[in-house]
Amino acid sequence: MKSSSSNGLLVVDKPGGMTSRAAVDRALAWFPRGTRLGHTGTLDPLATGVLVLCVGVATRLTEYVQRMEKTYRAGLLLGARSTTDDADGTVEAVQVDRPPDQGTVVCRLREFLGVIAQAPPAFSAAKVTGRRAYDLARQGKEVVLEARTVQIYQIDLLRYDYPRLDLEVRCGKGTYLRSLARDLGERLGCGGLIETLRRTRVGPFHAAGALHLETDAGTARGRLLSPAAAVADLPRLTLADAEVARLRQGQAVAVGGSTAVAHLAAGAEVAVFGPGDRLAAIAVHDPAAHCLRPAKVLPV
């Protein structure tokens, strides 16, 4: 569904050599001055591909896009290490007497499937005592980041010809492909880094349908998606105007007879729509009280 005003989502194809912030600045030129706009998950300058932008009131929904599953195509270079865990850093070759064979690579890749602990790269947006890790790393300070729990659903080995291998990775929020390359290289005993990286999908948003930053403003605004696209992963429920108004006033709404939410656990989030199929709120299911309680409401 298209959005009729400067509120909604844009899917852009970020080029290499550009920060995500720079891509946002370029996209701002498509909209009236003062329009709020932000991205939903940083891509490194080296990386290309899907960058989902939230515009106007949709900036209140960035967390839902950030939770969505992502797919990457990654080109790894083995036999080397980098200060940034990718080809943009200072790269040092590693002497390898016997390169790992494909069977060994496949076995080591399987070890990264599922819920794993992963330490972010030193040069990353992760915070250390309130400061961005990359700020400290650029000052030459030692950066020690605690491992975080991430989930990797699938890793496909597309090509292997030492020292290079190509992977397709399907993963959850917060997964660093640079960390995967680094850790795989360490387990193989040869070092590893990201040489190329492209994000091909975020949830339902694919690179094939993404906008290029050279697109003219009229075309870009015409491709604006409804804010509802940000909550595509949530169960949805349509309520009458009076019930929507109650949610917007911070009041709970009874849903005891609704089969749409009967199966949901306590605390489950629901995307609430009003008449006209317009997203009105995000509510939390309270099965004990047979109601929905407002968690986030959007303006009329």
CATH number at residue 243: 2.30.130.10
* Catalytic residue numbers, as ranges: 44
CA dihedral of 145, 147, 152, 155, whole degrees rounded to 10: 70
| pLDDT per residue as tens digits for the range 166-175 | 999 999 999 9
Residues 30 and 153 reside in one and the same domain: no
Domain containing 20: what range?
8-68+204-230
pLDDT tens profile 204-240: 999 999 999 999 999 999 999 999 999 999 999 999 9
**What are the φ and ψ backbone dihedral angles of 299, each rounded to 5 degrees?**
-65, 155
Band the pLDDT of 1: cuts 50, 70, 90. Answer: very low
Q: Is the pLDDT of residue 161 over 80?
A: yes
Instruction: Report percent pLDDT > 70 for the chain.
Output: 91
Q: How many domains does the chain have?
A: 3
The yes-or-no verdict on residue 2 having pLDDT over 50 is no
DSSP 104: H
Contact by Cβ (8 Å): 162, 79: yes
Residues 152 and 218 grouped into a single domain:
no
Tell me the whole-structure pTM to 2 decimals: 0.89
Please indicate, yes or no, whether residues 279 and 211 belong to a single structural domain of this protein.
no
DSSP class of 15: P
Is the domain of 88 the same as that of 195?
A: yes
Q: Are residues 41 and 101 in the same domain?
A: no
